[in-house]
Amino acid sequence: DSGVTQTPKHLITATGQRVTLRCSPRSGDLSVYWYQQSLDQGLQFLIQYYNGEERAKGNILERFSAQQFPDLHSELNLSSLELGDSALYFCASSADTGPDRAFFGQGTRLTVV
């Protein structure tokens, strides 16, 4: 158990809908990272937050957004969902800004039908 908790574990929704994925980092970790793992694109970095502020941005679509709350949990919001958004979404957390010290959650599997 990495200590990073993601909910829900599975999510099935229809095209055009909006969903929110939640991540609770390890106790004391200030950084949260979001990754998308799909068959087409592999494992891609989406976005990083550090202590409530956006720190780095990767291949995140404009339809997606994220935030980190004062209690350090983070949410990834996906809107106007398309079939191609079906993927495993991972959250990782680390004490500082170094992803080399990050621990990954088990992921949320999103299926868009």
Partner 1 sequence: AQSVTQLGSHVSVSEGALVLLRCNYSSSVPPYLFWYVQYPNQGLQLLLKYTSAATLVKGINGFEAEFKKSETSFHLTKPSAHMSDAAEYFCAVSDPFQGAQKLVFGQGTRLTINP
Min dist. Cβ of residue 19 to partner 1 (A): 19
- As given in the structure block, the two tokens for residue 19 are 């969903």
Min dist. Cβ of residue 15 to partner 1 (A): 25
Question: For residues 90 and 6, what is the distance between their CA atoms, to the nearest angstrom?
Answer: 8
Nearer to partner 1, 33 or 64 (CB): 33
* Footprint of partner 1 (CB under 8 A): 2, 4, 33, 42-45, 48, 55-56, 58, 90, 92, 97-100, 102, 104-107
Nearer to partner 1, 60 or 79 (CB): 60
Min dist. Cβ of residue 16 to partner 1 (A): 28
Beta bridge partners of 87: 110
Residue indicated by tokens 């800004």: 97
The closest alpha carbon to 111, from 33, 34, 8, 35, belongs to: 8
CA distances from 28 to 32, 68, 73 (A): 11, 14, 11
Min dist. Cβ of residue 36 to partner 1 (A): 11
